[in-house]
Amino acid sequence: MNWEILYAFIISTAVLAASPGPDNIYVLMQSMVHGVKNGLATVAGLMTGCLIHATLVAFGVSVLIKQIPILFTVLKTVGALYLLFLAYKAYGSSDDIRLENGNLPQKTYKALFVQGFFMNVLNPKVSIFFLAFFPGFLFSETMNTVVQFYVLGGIFIVVSFVIFSSVALLAGKISGYLKAHKNTGRILKWLQIIVFVGIAALLFFG
């Protein structure tokens, strides 16, 4: 087992989870407007949805590796190109982090959990991202591939859950910090670009 690969995966996941996106901004706004518990309910739904995507990727990619090994190489190449595309999109995006509540309606915890779950499960970009992201971090030559993908999925969910929950718990302080430090968005944007390009290089040359 290559622990360095797992450590790199944890760091990459943390950077990407902390980078402003529709999910964590939504969690932040729910927490600011309606309280921490609402934000945590949304986080729980989002992370449960990630488990579905991780399962699809684990079994789908594992079948490709077993039946047609060359397709795994093709998949990694396409994944690298997709990650470079995401880096390009991030480069062209604004540095500003917009915090707009849009008069978020009050919902029950169950409703927020369900909404977070379907926000994630019905977003095909999540599965595509997992397909591009995970193959570069397979960490063992002896462990079953399905198990490795589940381990990566579990790590991704745990790390993202910790960061998203921290966003919910510290919503007031985070929003205040973002408003006071306008260059934070630029720093997070470039960290995201570096991670995308780095993983793409790992897939190309690994």
Per-residue tens of pLDDT for the chain, all 206 residues: 889 999 999 999 999 999 888 888 889 988 988 889 999 999 999 999 999 999 988 888 777 777 787 877 888 888 889 989 989 988 888 877 776 666 667 789 999 999 999 989 988 888 889 988 998 898 998 898 889 999 999 999 999 999 999 999 998 888 888 777 778 888 888 888 998 998 888 888 86
Nearest to 29 by CA among 85, 93, 102, 123: 102
**CA 50 – CA 59 distance, rounded (Å):** 14
32-66 burial code (b ≥16 CB/10 A, e <16):
bbbebebbbbbbbbbbbbbbebbebbbeebbebbe
Q: Give the up-direction half-sphere exposure of residue 58: CA atoms within 13 A in the CB hemisphere.
A: 17
pTM to 2 decimals?
A: 0.84
Locate 74 and state its tokens.
């093709």
